[in-house]
Amino acid sequence: MSNRVYVGTYGKYNAGSIAGAWFDLEDYADREDFIADCLKFHSDESDPELMFQDWECELSGDYISESYVDPDLWQFLDLEDYERKLVVIYSEIADISLSMKELIEQANERCAGVHDSHMHFVIEYLENMGFDFDALSACCVAIDYERTWRDLSADYCCVRVNGRNYYFRSH
């Protein structure tokens, strides 16, 4: 998905026109460059008041609105592909009041892994806790991975994307 905004002006809108253009946010180094290009596009008005009439954004949240584009959105746009994907997925479950900086930090800090199944997550979790699977199998004891996941789900949440599970600590 692209991150773009359809930009018109309040003056044109009040005159009955939605004339404007789509601007791809990734074409700009920062918000200032984006705004400067929008103002240049609308230079047919003496003092254009920009109106963001429509937008497409990978992120869930209020980072773009009719009269606002978060200047910190470019922090997200500058991320490497994997980290960017992680932030997009985390934004689906995160508190929508988070700043961009907080969203990026929490996505990275709370990510507990990407696995094909809950069983694989539970195995990694138990291994990280120092669990000795060899000793357990010598005692002929089996682990109920689904129940263990249900117990862990009080502290972890899972988002499934394209057949993969992304696990995040809840707090």
Instruction: Spell out the SS3 assignment of 100-143.
Output: HHHHHHHHHHHEEEEECCHHHHHHHHHHHCCCCHHHHHHCCCCC
Output Rg (C-alpha) for the chain, integer angstroms: 23
Mean pLDDT by 10 residues, the chain (171 residues): 92 96 96 97 96 92 91 94 94 88 95 94 90 69 85 94 94 79
Q: How many CB atoms lie within 10 A of CB 72?
A: 17
**Distance of alpha carbon 165 from alpha carbon 111, whole angstroms:** 11
Q: What does the pLDDT read at residue 118?
A: 94
Contact 45, 24 (CB under 8 A): no
Euclidean distance between CA atoms 156 and 171, whole angstroms: 8
Per the rule left: phi > 0, alpha: psi between -120 and 50, beta: everything else, 135 is: alpha
| C-alpha span between 115 and 167 (Å, rounded) | 8
Distance CA 122, CA 147 (A): 10
pLDDT at 139: 66
pLDDT at site 96: 80
- What confidence score (pLDDT) does residue 97 get? 84
According to the model, what pLDDT value does residue 7 have?
Answer: 98
Q: Three-state DSSP class for 164?
A: strand
Q: Can you give the pLDDT at residue 158?
A: 94
Nearest-5° Cα angle at 157, 77 to 122: 115
The pTM of the full predicted model, rounded to 2 decimals, is 0.81
